[in-house]
Protein backbone atom coordinates (compact mmCIF):
# COMPACT_ATOMS: atom_id res chain seq x y z
CA UNK A 1 0.00 0.00 0.00
CA UNK A 2 1.42 3.40 -1.04
CA UNK A 3 0.79 6.78 0.60
CA UNK A 4 -0.75 9.42 -1.67
CA UNK A 5 -1.70 12.94 -0.48
CA UNK A 6 -1.03 14.43 2.96
CA UNK A 7 -4.28 14.51 4.96
CA UNK A 8 -3.09 15.96 8.26
CA UNK A 9 0.14 17.02 9.90
CA UNK A 10 0.33 16.77 13.68
CA UNK A 11 3.19 17.59 16.05
CA UNK A 12 4.83 14.16 15.78
CA UNK A 13 2.99 12.47 12.93
CA UNK A 14 2.01 13.00 9.31
CA UNK A 15 -1.12 11.20 8.12
CA UNK A 16 -1.46 10.31 4.45
CA UNK A 17 -4.32 9.06 2.31
CA UNK A 18 -3.81 5.84 0.37
CA UNK A 19 -5.36 4.44 -2.80
CA UNK A 20 -7.91 2.73 -0.52
CA UNK A 21 -10.36 5.22 1.04
CA UNK A 22 -10.71 2.94 4.08
CA UNK A 23 -7.00 3.04 4.91
CA UNK A 24 -4.49 5.71 5.92
CA UNK A 25 -0.75 5.68 6.55
CA UNK A 26 0.80 7.49 9.53
CA UNK A 27 4.43 8.54 9.38
CA UNK A 28 5.96 8.81 12.86
CA UNK A 29 8.45 11.70 12.84
CA UNK A 30 11.44 12.46 15.07
CA UNK A 31 9.91 15.73 16.21
CA UNK A 32 9.51 16.16 19.99
CA UNK A 33 7.34 18.99 21.29
CA UNK A 34 6.15 20.12 24.71
CA UNK A 35 4.27 23.01 26.32
CA UNK A 36 1.79 23.42 23.44
CA UNK A 37 4.60 23.24 20.87
CA UNK A 38 6.66 26.04 22.48
CA UNK A 39 9.56 23.65 23.19
CA UNK A 40 10.78 21.71 20.14
CA UNK A 41 13.57 19.29 19.31
CA UNK A 42 14.41 16.64 16.74
CA UNK A 43 15.41 13.33 18.32
CA UNK A 44 16.86 11.09 15.61
CA UNK A 45 15.22 7.66 15.66
CA UNK A 46 12.36 8.61 18.00
CA UNK A 47 9.69 8.18 15.30
CA UNK A 48 10.76 4.62 14.54
CA UNK A 49 10.75 3.75 18.25
CA UNK A 50 7.23 5.15 18.75
CA UNK A 51 5.98 3.34 15.65
CA UNK A 52 7.30 0.02 16.97
CA UNK A 53 6.04 0.58 20.51
CA UNK A 54 2.59 1.69 19.30
CA UNK A 55 2.28 -1.19 16.83
CA UNK A 56 3.10 -3.71 19.54
CA UNK A 57 0.66 -2.21 22.04
CA UNK A 58 -2.13 -1.94 19.46
CA UNK A 59 -1.61 -5.62 18.58
CA UNK A 60 -1.69 -6.53 22.25
CA UNK A 61 -4.99 -4.65 22.70
CA UNK A 62 -6.47 -6.11 19.51
CA UNK A 63 -5.63 -9.59 20.80
CA UNK A 64 -7.46 -8.78 24.05
CA UNK A 65 -10.59 -7.73 22.15
CA UNK A 66 -10.09 -3.95 22.18
CA UNK A 67 -10.68 -2.61 18.68
CA UNK A 68 -7.99 -0.23 17.40
CA UNK A 69 -7.28 1.39 14.05
CA UNK A 70 -4.04 -0.61 13.64
CA UNK A 71 -3.71 -2.72 10.48
CA UNK A 72 0.01 -3.31 10.05
CA UNK A 73 3.47 -1.95 10.49
CA UNK A 74 4.83 -0.98 7.05
CA UNK A 75 8.43 -0.02 7.79
CA UNK A 76 10.47 1.80 10.46
CA UNK A 77 8.40 4.98 10.42
CA UNK A 78 5.13 4.03 8.74
CA UNK A 79 1.97 2.36 10.06
CA UNK A 80 -1.07 1.36 8.01
CA UNK A 81 -4.34 1.94 9.81
CA UNK A 82 -8.07 2.35 9.33
CA UNK A 83 -9.49 5.68 8.21
CA UNK A 84 -11.66 6.87 11.11
CA UNK A 85 -13.63 10.00 11.81
CA UNK A 86 -11.61 11.55 14.65
CA UNK A 87 -13.42 12.40 17.91
CA UNK A 88 -11.91 15.73 19.04
CA UNK A 89 -11.44 14.64 22.64
CA UNK A 90 -8.24 13.61 24.40
CA UNK A 91 -9.11 10.95 26.94
CA UNK A 92 -6.61 11.07 29.81
CA UNK A 93 -6.31 8.15 32.22
CA UNK A 94 -4.38 8.59 35.49
CA UNK A 95 -3.25 5.99 38.00
CA UNK A 96 -0.74 8.16 39.86
CA UNK A 97 -0.92 11.93 40.37
CA UNK A 98 1.66 14.01 38.53
CA UNK A 99 1.83 16.62 35.76
CA UNK A 100 -1.17 18.87 35.30
CA UNK A 101 -3.19 17.04 37.97
CA UNK A 102 -0.75 17.99 40.74
CA UNK A 103 -0.40 21.49 39.29
CA UNK A 104 -4.14 22.15 38.95
CA UNK A 105 -5.46 20.47 42.10
CA UNK A 106 -2.50 20.47 44.47
CA UNK A 107 -2.49 16.68 44.88
CA UNK A 108 0.99 15.58 46.02
CA UNK A 109 3.15 14.29 43.16
CA UNK A 110 3.35 10.50 43.21
CA UNK A 111 0.06 9.96 45.10
CA UNK A 112 -1.48 6.65 44.02
CA UNK A 113 -5.07 7.46 43.10
CA UNK A 114 -7.83 5.36 44.72
CA UNK A 115 -9.22 4.54 41.27
CA UNK A 116 -8.21 5.28 37.69
CA UNK A 117 -9.22 8.85 36.95
CA UNK A 118 -10.57 9.49 33.43
CA UNK A 119 -10.63 13.07 32.16
CA UNK A 120 -11.54 14.70 28.85
CA UNK A 121 -9.54 17.48 27.19
CA UNK A 122 -10.77 19.33 24.10
CA UNK A 123 -8.41 18.47 21.22
CA UNK A 124 -7.91 22.05 20.09
CA UNK A 125 -4.37 23.46 19.80
CA UNK A 126 -5.52 27.08 19.46
CA UNK A 127 -7.30 26.87 22.82
CA UNK A 128 -4.47 24.89 24.43
CA UNK A 129 -6.48 21.63 24.82
CA UNK A 130 -8.67 22.80 27.76
CA UNK A 131 -10.33 20.39 30.23
CA UNK A 132 -13.97 19.58 29.51
CA UNK A 133 -16.88 18.08 31.38
CA UNK A 134 -19.68 16.05 29.77
CA UNK A 135 -21.90 19.07 29.22
CA UNK A 136 -19.14 21.01 27.44
CA UNK A 137 -18.52 18.01 25.15
CA UNK A 138 -22.22 17.81 24.30
CA UNK A 139 -22.62 21.56 23.74
CA UNK A 140 -19.59 21.50 21.41
CA UNK A 141 -21.06 18.48 19.55
CA UNK A 142 -17.81 16.55 20.07
CA UNK A 143 -19.91 13.41 20.52
CA UNK A 144 -23.47 12.57 19.48
CA UNK A 145 -24.84 11.85 22.95
CA UNK A 146 -24.00 11.13 26.58
CA UNK A 147 -23.84 7.39 25.86
CA UNK A 148 -20.79 7.96 23.63
CA UNK A 149 -18.99 9.67 26.51
CA UNK A 150 -19.77 6.64 28.69
CA UNK A 151 -18.42 4.34 25.95
CA UNK A 152 -15.18 6.39 25.86
CA UNK A 153 -14.80 6.16 29.65
CA UNK A 154 -15.51 2.41 29.64
CA UNK A 155 -13.01 1.77 26.83
CA UNK A 156 -10.36 3.93 28.51
CA UNK A 157 -10.72 1.92 31.77
CA UNK A 158 -10.67 -1.36 29.85
CA UNK A 159 -7.42 -0.33 28.12
CA UNK A 160 -5.93 0.71 31.47
CA UNK A 161 -6.93 -2.65 32.99
CA UNK A 162 -4.94 -4.40 30.23
CA UNK A 163 -1.92 -2.09 30.02
CA UNK A 164 -1.32 -1.40 33.73
CA UNK A 165 -0.52 -5.03 34.66
CA UNK A 166 1.30 -5.55 31.35
CA UNK A 167 3.72 -2.72 32.15
CA UNK A 168 4.06 -3.67 35.83
CA UNK A 169 5.23 -7.07 34.67
CA UNK A 170 8.11 -5.43 32.76
CA UNK A 171 9.09 -3.14 35.63
CA UNK A 172 7.18 -0.03 34.61
CA UNK A 173 4.46 1.85 36.46
CA UNK A 174 1.88 3.17 33.98
CA UNK A 175 1.42 6.56 35.63
CA UNK A 176 -0.94 8.19 33.14
CA UNK A 177 -1.62 8.33 29.41
CA UNK A 178 -3.64 10.04 26.70
CA UNK A 179 -5.93 8.17 24.33
CA UNK A 180 -7.70 9.27 21.18
CA UNK A 181 -10.72 7.60 19.62
CA UNK A 182 -12.46 7.69 16.28
CA UNK A 183 -15.42 6.15 14.48
CA UNK A 184 -14.75 3.55 11.82
CA UNK A 185 -16.88 3.23 8.66
CA UNK A 186 -19.34 1.00 10.55
CA UNK A 187 -19.76 3.64 13.27
CA UNK A 188 -17.83 1.72 15.93
CA UNK A 189 -15.83 3.81 18.40
CA UNK A 190 -12.25 2.49 18.24
CA UNK A 191 -8.84 3.47 19.58
CA UNK A 192 -6.72 5.54 17.15
CA UNK A 193 -3.55 7.68 17.19
CA UNK A 194 -0.61 6.12 19.08
CA UNK A 195 0.49 4.61 22.38
CA UNK A 196 4.09 5.53 23.11
CA UNK A 197 6.33 7.32 25.64
CA UNK A 198 5.22 10.54 23.89
CA UNK A 199 1.71 10.16 25.30
CA UNK A 200 2.19 7.83 28.28
CA UNK A 201 4.17 8.33 31.48
CA UNK A 202 6.24 5.34 32.65
CA UNK A 203 8.15 5.23 35.93
CA UNK A 204 10.70 2.47 36.53
CA UNK A 205 9.38 0.39 39.45
CA UNK A 206 12.83 0.10 41.06
CA UNK A 207 14.41 3.50 40.50
CA UNK A 208 11.35 5.72 39.97
CA UNK A 209 13.10 7.12 36.90
CA UNK A 210 10.90 8.57 34.12
CA UNK A 211 11.16 6.64 30.86
CA UNK A 212 9.01 8.93 28.71
CA UNK A 213 8.62 12.43 27.27
CA UNK A 214 8.98 14.01 30.73
CA UNK A 215 12.74 13.62 30.14
CA UNK A 216 12.35 16.15 27.31
CA UNK A 217 9.77 18.32 29.11
CA UNK A 218 12.05 18.57 32.17
CA UNK A 219 15.29 18.77 30.13
CA UNK A 220 16.78 15.68 31.83
CA UNK A 221 18.12 14.29 28.51
CA UNK A 222 18.50 10.64 27.56
CA UNK A 223 15.18 10.64 25.73
CA UNK A 224 16.12 8.12 23.05
CA UNK A 225 17.80 5.76 25.51
CA UNK A 226 14.64 5.80 27.65
CA UNK A 227 12.35 5.08 24.67
CA UNK A 228 14.71 2.27 23.58
CA UNK A 229 14.52 0.80 27.08
CA UNK A 230 10.69 0.83 26.95
CA UNK A 231 10.73 -0.95 23.56
CA UNK A 232 13.32 -3.48 24.77
CA UNK A 233 11.19 -4.37 27.80
CA UNK A 234 8.01 -4.59 25.70
CA UNK A 235 9.67 -6.97 23.27
CA UNK A 236 11.01 -8.99 26.22
Q: Which residues contact 115 (CB under 8 A, 6 or more apart)?
A: none
- CB-wise, 52 or 213, nearer to ligand C5P? 213
- Shortest Å, Cβ 94 to ligand C5P: 7
- CB-wise, 22 or 219, nearer to ligand C5P? 219
- Shortest Å, Cβ 120 to ligand C5P: 11
- CB-wise, 70 or 202, nearer to ligand C5P? 202
- CB-wise, 81 or 213, nearer to ligand C5P? 213
- Among all residues, whose Cβ is closest to ligand C5P? 99
Query: Which residues sit at the interface with ligand C5P, rule CB under 6 A?
Result: 90, 92, 99-101, 129, 176-178, 199-201, 213
Kind of pairing, strands 85-86 and 78-82?
unpaired
- CB-wise, 120 or 177, nearer to ligand C5P? 177
- Shortest Å, Cβ 152 to ligand C5P: 15
Helices (H), the chain: 46-63, 99-105, 134-139, 146-168, 214-217, 223-235
Distance CA 83, CA 191 (A): 12
Task: Report which DSSP code applies to 210.
Answer: B
Instruction: Mark residue 219 as left, alpha or beta (left: phi above 0; alpha: psi -120 to 50; beta: remaining).
Output: left
- Shortest Å, Cβ 64 to ligand C5P: 21
Q: What is the DSSP string of 79-104?
A: EEEE--EEPSEEEEEEEE--HHHHHH
Neighbours of 24 (CB within 10 A): 24
Find the helix or strand (DSSP H, E) in which 173 lies.
strand 172-183
- Shortest Å, Cβ 143 to ligand C5P: 18
Distance CA 118, CA 94 (A): 7
- Shortest Å, Cβ 96 to ligand C5P: 11
- CB-wise, 11 or 233, nearer to ligand C5P? 11
Amino acid sequence: MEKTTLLYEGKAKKVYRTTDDNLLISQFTDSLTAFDGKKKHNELGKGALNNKISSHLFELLNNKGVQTHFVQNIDDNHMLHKNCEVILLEVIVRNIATGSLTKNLGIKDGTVLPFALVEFDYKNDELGDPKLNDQHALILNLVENKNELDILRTKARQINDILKPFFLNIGLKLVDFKLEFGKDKQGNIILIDELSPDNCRFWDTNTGESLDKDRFRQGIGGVKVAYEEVLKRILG
